[in-house]
Each structure stands twice: as C-alpha cells, then as structure tokens.
Amino acid sequence: MLKFLANKLPNTGMNFAVWDWSKPELYGIVLGMLAKLDLSGTLGIRKSEMLDFIIDVEKGYCATSYHSFYHAVDVVAVLYYMLTDLGVQKYLTNLDCVALLIAGLCHDIGHPGLNNVYQVNAKTELANRYNDQSVLENYSCDLTNELITKHNLFGNVHLCPTENYGFDPEHTDASLRQLIKKTILATDMAFHFGLLVEMDSMFEQACSSEDSEEEFDNSCPASSDGSASSSPISPSPLSSTSSIDSFFTSLPYTNLITLDANQRELLCKVLLHAADLSNTVRPWDISKRWSDLVVEEFFNQGDLEKKNNLPVSPNMDREQAHQCQISLRFGDFVVKPYFEAFAAFLNPAKVFLDTLKSNRLVIIPDDFQETLSMQRSPKHRRIKRSLSGRSYSHHSLLPPCSIEGLYGINGDSDSDDGINDHYRWPTRRKSAGLGISKKHSSINDNYTNNDDERSSSLDHNMIKQISALYGNGSNTEQRVVLAGS
C-alpha cells in the first residue's frame, strides 16, 4: 500500500496485470487505491478495518478460472483509472465513490464459474432462491451486504459531514447499501441494452443546452483564475470541431455539471459495467490473458452441461466454439457499441476504443479487416469468392477455418431477413458544437430499416444467436442473455 501511495508501483493503470502480484500485495494495492481517494476517511474507519474487509471479500470468491478475486481487483483498478486519470471522480460524491469501488470489489463474490443460464437450467438452489432473476448478481449483493454488516463498515458514516455527499445523514447506511446493490445488479448482461439506452439519455440531458450559450455559461462556474472552463461532459462553447480534442485535453477536469442523485446512480452503473466489460479494451497481452481465462471457464461449463444433459450454452461447447469467434463477436456486438456511447459521454474514454481497434488488428490480418468492412458493398460477393477457402490459422486466436466460417458469412445474399428491426442500434449524428456524437432525440425513431444507418460494428448473425436465447417475458430488451452473464 505504501508503495502505491508513493507512486512507486509501475503499471497500475491500463497496463495493470493482476497476475504479477501475490494476493497480500493485491490487498495492499486495493487499500492504496481506497486510501488515495480518502474513502476510509469518508467512512470514518481505520485503514486496518478496511483491510480486514478486503481480506474477507477475497475469501468469499471461488477458485474459478475467470470470476475470481483477480477479476475483482482488475475491475477495481479500471474503476480507479476512470475516476482519476479520466476525471470521472469530479462528477461523483465521496460516498458515491465508496459505493462504486465496494460494488466493483464485490460484484462477483460467490460466483461459482457457472453462469445464470446454467443456474436456471440446472434448477439450482440459488436459482430457486432468487426466482431465476439475476441469480448470481443477487447472490453477490447478499454476500456483500453480510460482509458490510459483519465489519460494521458504515457504522461511523453518519458522523462524517454529509452535506455535500448527496445522502440524507439519517439514512446514509441504507442509501449506500442500496446504491451498491443497484450497481452490482446492473452488471447482469440482461440489462446491457437498457443501460446503453439510459446512458444515451443522460448524455442528451447533459447536452440539452448546447444551442444556448447563455445556458452553457450558467452551467459552468468560473475556474480558480476567474476564466470559464469546460469538461468532457459539458457542452462545448466552440463552434468548430477542429480544436475540440486539444480543447478537451488542455483544460483541467473541474466539476462543472452537478448531477442529481439519479444521474449519479446511473453513472455508477455505467462505470462498473464498463469496467466489467473492459477486458477487450485493455492492452493486448492483458486482453489475451483474460480471454484465455474466460474461454476456459466457458468450456468447463459446457462440459458440465453435457455431463448433466443440459442445453449447452452458446460459446461454451469446446467442440463447436472458438476463442477467436467469441472474442470478435463479443467485441463487435457488445463492447464496441457500449464504449462508443461511453466515449460520447466522456471524451477521454476514447482511449478504450483505440485499444479495442488495435487488439482487433492483432487477432485478424489487415486483408480480413478490409473484407469485413466491405461486406455490404457491391464488391462483397467477389471478395468472398476470391478469399474462399483461405486459412488464417497462423494467427494467435484464429481457428483453422475459412474466412466465411469465421464470421458467419454464408450464402450469396447480403440480406439480413429475419432480424428483428428492434435490435438495430440507433445511429448518431454529429454535433458541430460539441465535436462528439449525439443520438437522435426519439429512441423509437432510431430502430430503422435503413441498412446504411446501422452501426458497422454490429454482427447481425450474433444478434440472431442472442435473440434465440431469450427467456419468457414481455420486455425482451431487458432479457438478453449472453454467455458471459
């Protein structure tokens, strides 16, 4: 912890590799992150008491390939990076940060390495306990709540000044627990698309005054030297997009937009879900290591499903699925659209998209990249024929298969017949005043039949596959079940 506080630990940002440290060292690193944010002081407890809590949390994690204490620490590290390096801390209260990092540390506690689909299909005790709803997330919430009570973690929080924390002093304990629970539950992939819509909606609200310079000025207090300042979220007073990037990067982060309690709660959910999805947007060596571990856990579940005569979950049959297909489809369909929206809301988060693009180039060669980008062009059929049968098995993640088989390119038709228009993600329009993407005002207007307006990052064969996994229920948008849930 002392080395972390003294900034003597290398690579604790995007390059943080949890496997380079022993568990006692990870305890200290997590404690150091909390201490640098003064979260133990916010709670009115000693650092030794917070350390006891961290150690107990580690004991609650199972020895799984992926959903382990190492994953929890990695998520906390990404959250810390977003709070500090990306400046998100300025938009949250100290107690929000407490809830966010505790939720990050505990979000998968008790996860047995067998996802919600398995729990429901196997009719486990946990599935019965939580009525098949967000089974593992609810279980993690209960375990987290028990540990908070055991360590009396919030016992002194009512004694701390809370006028700027956004909580009622008489109900701070309950409010913190509720925020932690809601934030953990939002990591269930069943709510991924709903969270994406909410994030866009909050972005719209934050930018609602872009057409009024007066409203913009009123929303931006003067900086310490008396001049107006800006933030990655606030509307830009610039009329040209040419200097947007330098404008955002040259100014210090200041708390210019005051978010209400509901907006801060949503931001906590968005941040934790982003950190939970961040494996594919990390530097390649780290991303590849996490990919190896998640696929190992997937295949272990698939083996058990076969053994118990249960339906084998998508991407979990080691005889059918391949790591490259899993990584590419998850990155294209889930991760990229989410981080595009996140970067539209928080400009510095573009670093994640840049890394995702770099990783994709490592996985597949340039000529294949060009082919995928041209799938919908008039030359699509000729390209498919010219590349038919070529193998890319020499690449680190690619299976020994043809280019058509890798990405589900089949037949001679460019049509997406059979895809429900509801899953065609909204397009974005450029706002010259902001220099960042902004969605149309009406969500219903954005689910369109126009192929040219659909995001090129979406793999519509993957949409079909995921659609087939829906359970019963009228609100299908919130019932998306991905293999990683």
Tokens 């969270």 belong to 195
Confirm if 75 and 272 have CB atoms less than 8 A apart: yes
- Residue 366 counted as an annotated binding residue: no
Q: Which candidate, 115, 176, 190, places its Cα nearest to that of 144?
A: 176
Active-site option among 67, 111, 192, 322: 67
CA distance 266 to 255: 17
Q: Which candidate, 363, 334, 340, places its Cα nearest to that of 352?
A: 340
Q: Crossing angle, helix 261-276 and helix 172-185, to 10 degrees?
A: 40
Q: Where are the beta strands (DSSP E) in 309-427?
A: none
- Residue 132 counted as an annotated binding residue: no
- Residue 108 counted as an annotated binding residue: yes
Q: Is 296 exposed, middle or buried (0-12, 13-18, 19+ CB in 10 A)?
A: middle
Compute the half-sphere exposure of residue 139: CA atoms within 13 Å on the CB side of its CA: 23
Q: Is 65 exposed, middle or buried (0-12, 13-18, 19+ CB in 10 A)?
A: middle
460 is catalytic: no
Residue type at position 237: P
Confirm if 28 and 1 have CB atoms less than 8 A apart: yes
DSSP state of 334: I
Helix (H, G, I), strand (E, B) or coil at 436: strand
For the chain, the straight-line distance linking the first and the last C-alpha, in angstroms and rounded, comes to 32
* Residues labelled as active-site residues: 67
Binding site residues for Zn(2+), as ranges? 71, 107-108, 276
Binding site residues, as ranges? 71, 107-108, 276
